């Protein structure tokens, strides 16, 4: 008997959508009879490429999601969130109806403000149910909800990270990643997309390091490579060159994947900046710094990519020795290689547009 579950975009870090997609993949491997639908903003829907159906929507407040990411609760809102967190932690400690308390009280500040208290959640569920032709079995997810086991977890953030990144590692290592047709003709001029990060308030310690990237880009430019520096927002590098472009973009994730797929490689940080999402594609990636997950929880997504036969290049040793010229040479050789795609097992998706939902 087919079961249908509806889950939500979490209104949290975009990495959460990537991790949820890996959980959808693993759950459907165990329960192929179950259909999983996702409510997601149109610009982020393609993170969930293992879902069976996407109910996409537009909303004025999520047009520039960076503003939501910068949100921090203050005053009464912060106290209320901490109070909810303590109630859930207490219930979890004594294993008291954990699923009930999770659904009743647990939520993160961003999800609470922009998704629940705004009334957006209720309107989306109603609209999706009407279009589906009946009531959908809805589960509101966020951190500490395990989609594979379909149950709430104890509030242990480190254990949660280990479990979720392990799920993502498994999905990537099995080649179940977002796929592009990479059999394009090689251009005489190589083009690299450089993804940078430059937040004002949110985890600024993970912003891109201009002192490393600027000399690397200058070496690439001297060797005739076109470099396009993009981000949400991007990190300016103060470079003036006919083959260099930089801007903060407002592309959907699908558009950004396609845009990067037209380049010969993507240079990106593995510390933050949505590395998880790009690691789960067959795009050729260049690593120039350490992975957050490798350093903090011992899970190396570049290792998962290698296991799946996905193309990656590590230039950290050259940059550490300030050998920017050799790093540029390695990137050029890497970009000139023929590209082989890994096998794909992503589901065929049905997309339903709910339109503008306020």
Give the pLDDT confidence score for residue 344 in this predicted structure. Answer: 40
Residues 42 and 95 in one domain: yes
Phi-psi region of 150 (alpha: psi -120 to 50; beta: other; left: phi over 0): left
Give the pLDDT confidence score for residue 226 in this predicted structure. Answer: 97
Give the pLDDT confidence score for residue 54 in this predicted structure. Answer: 97
Q: From CA 264, how far away is CA 193, in angstroms rounded? A: 8
User: How sure is the predictor about 87, in pLDDT bands with cuts at 50, 70 and 90?
Assistant: very high
Give the pLDDT confidence score for residue 185 in this predicted structure. Answer: 58
Would 185 be classed as within a structural domain? no
Residues 48 and 80 in one domain: yes
Percent of the chain with pLDDT over 70: 92
Residues 352 and 324 in one domain: no
Residues 224 and 321 in one domain: yes
Would 184 be classed as within a structural domain? no
Identify which has the larger pLDDT, 208 or 335: 335
Give the pLDDT confidence score for residue 232 in this predicted structure. Answer: 85
For residue 203, the cross-strand partners are none
Q: Which helix (H) or strand (E) holds 286?
A: strand 285-287
Would 63 be classed as within a structural domain? yes
Whether residue 199 is predicted with pLDDT greater than 90 in this model: the reply is no
Would 36 be classed as within a structural domain? yes
Identify which has the larger pLDDT, 205 or 210: 210
Residue closest to 292 by CA, chosen among 161, 153, 143: 161
**What is the mean predicted confidence (pLDDT) over 227-239?**
92
Residues 171 and 218 in one domain: no
Would 182 be classed as within a structural domain? no
Residues 42 and 72 in one domain: yes
Q: From CA 220, how far away is CA 233, in angstroms rounded? A: 22
Q: If you average pLDDT over every residue of the chain, what do you get?
A: 90
Helices (H) and strands (E) in the chain, counts: 14, 13
Residues 195 and 113 in one domain: no
Count how many domains the chain has.
2
Q: Residue 336: helix, strand or coil by DSSP?
A: helix
Write out pLDDT tens, residues 146-160: 999 999 999 999 999
Residues 195 and 331 in one domain: yes
What is the DSSP annotation of 7-18? EE--SS-THHHH
Phi-psi region of 260 (alpha: psi -120 to 50; beta: other; left: phi over 0): alpha
Burial class of 61 by CB neighbour count within 10 A (0 to 12, 13 to 18, 19+):
middle
**What is the mean predicted confidence (pLDDT) over 18-28?**
97
97 contacts 120 by C-beta, under 8 angstroms: no
Residues 22 and 162 in one domain: yes
Write out pLDDT tens, residues 88-115: 999 998 888 999 999 999 999 999 999 9
Give the pLDDT confidence score for residue 346 in this predicted structure. Answer: 43
Question: Looking at the whole model, is its pTM more than 0.85?
Answer: yes
Whether residue 167 is predicted with pLDDT greater than 50 in this model: the reply is yes
Q: Which residues contact 339 (CB under 8 A, 6 or more apart)?
A: 182, 183, 284, 311
Give the pLDDT confidence score for residue 358 in this predicted structure. Answer: 80
Residues 234 and 148 in one domain: no
Residue 228 tokens, joined: 């396009």
Which domain range does residue 283 map to?
Answer: 191-336
Q: Which residues contact 245 (CB under 8 A, 6 or more apart)?
A: 227, 228, 229
Residues 13 and 145 in one domain: yes
Q: From CA 134, how far away is CA 115, in angstroms rounded? A: 22
210 contacts 176 by C-beta, under 8 angstroms: no
Whether residue 37 is predicted with pLDDT greater than 90 in this model: the reply is yes
Would 254 be classed as within a structural domain? yes
Residue closest to 346 by CA, chosen among 174, 177, 181: 177
Would 27 be classed as within a structural domain? yes
Whether residue 343 is predicted with pLDDT greater than 60 in this model: the reply is no
Give the pLDDT confidence score for residue 67 in this predicted structure. Answer: 86
CATH number at residue 196: 3.40.50
Strands 312-314 and 244-248: unpaired
Residue 289 tokens, joined: 């710094």
Would 46 be classed as within a structural domain? yes
Write out pLDDT tens, residues 286-338: 999 999 999 999 999 999 999 999 999 999 999 999 999 999 999 999 999 86
Residues 260 and 325 in one domain: yes
User: How sure is the predictor about 345, in pLDDT bands with cuts at 50, 70 and 90?
Assistant: very low
Q: From CA 195, how far away is CA 207, in angstroms rounded? A: 11
Whether residue 197 is predicted with pLDDT greater than 90 in this model: the reply is no
């Amino acid at each position: 008997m087919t079961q249908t579950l509806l889950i939500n975009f979490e209104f949290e870090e975009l990495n959460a959508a990537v991790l949820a997609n890996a959980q959808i993949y693993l759950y459907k491997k165990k329960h192929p009879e179950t259909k999983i639908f996702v409510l997601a903003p149109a610009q982020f829907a393609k993170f969930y490429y293992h879902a069976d159906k996407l109910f996409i929507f537009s909303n004025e407040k999520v047009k520039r999601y960076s503003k939501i990411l910068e949100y921090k609760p203050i005053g009464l809102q912060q106290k209320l969130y901490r109070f909810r967190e303590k109630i859930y932690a207490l219930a979890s400690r004594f294993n008291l109806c954990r699923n009930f308390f999770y659904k009743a009280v647990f939520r993160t500040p961003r999800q609470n403000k922009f998704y629940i208290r705004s009334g957006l959640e209720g309107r989306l569920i109603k609209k999706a149910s009407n279009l589906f032709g009946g009531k959908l079995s809805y589960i509101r997810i966020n951190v500490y909800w395990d989609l594979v086991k379909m149950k709430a977890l104890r509030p242990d953030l480190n254990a949660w990270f280990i479990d979720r990144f392990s799920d993502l590692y498994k999905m990537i290592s099995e080649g179940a990643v977002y796929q592009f047709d990479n059999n394009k003709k090689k251009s005489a001029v190589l083009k690299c997309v450089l993804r940078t990060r430059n937040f004002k308030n949110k985890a600024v310690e993970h912003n891109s390091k201009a002192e490393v990237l600027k000399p690397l880009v200058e070496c690439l430019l001297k060797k005739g490579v076109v470099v396009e520096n993009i981000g949400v927002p991007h990190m300016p590098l103060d470079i003036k060159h006919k083959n260099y472009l930089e801007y903060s973009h407002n592309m959907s994730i699908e558009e950004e994947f396609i845009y990067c797929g037209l380049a010969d490689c993507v240079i990106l940080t593995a510390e933050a900046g949505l590395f998880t999402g790009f690691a789960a594609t067959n795009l050729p990636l260049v690593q120039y710094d350490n992975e957050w997950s490798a350093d903090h929880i011992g899970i190396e997504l570049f290792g998962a990519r290698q296991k799946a036969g996905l193309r990656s290049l590590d230039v950290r040793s050259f940059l550490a020795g300030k050998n920017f010229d050799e790093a540029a040479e390695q990137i050029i050789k890497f970009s000139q290689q023929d590209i082989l795609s890994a096998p794909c097992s992503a589901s065929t998706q049905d997309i339903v547009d709910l339109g503008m939902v306020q």
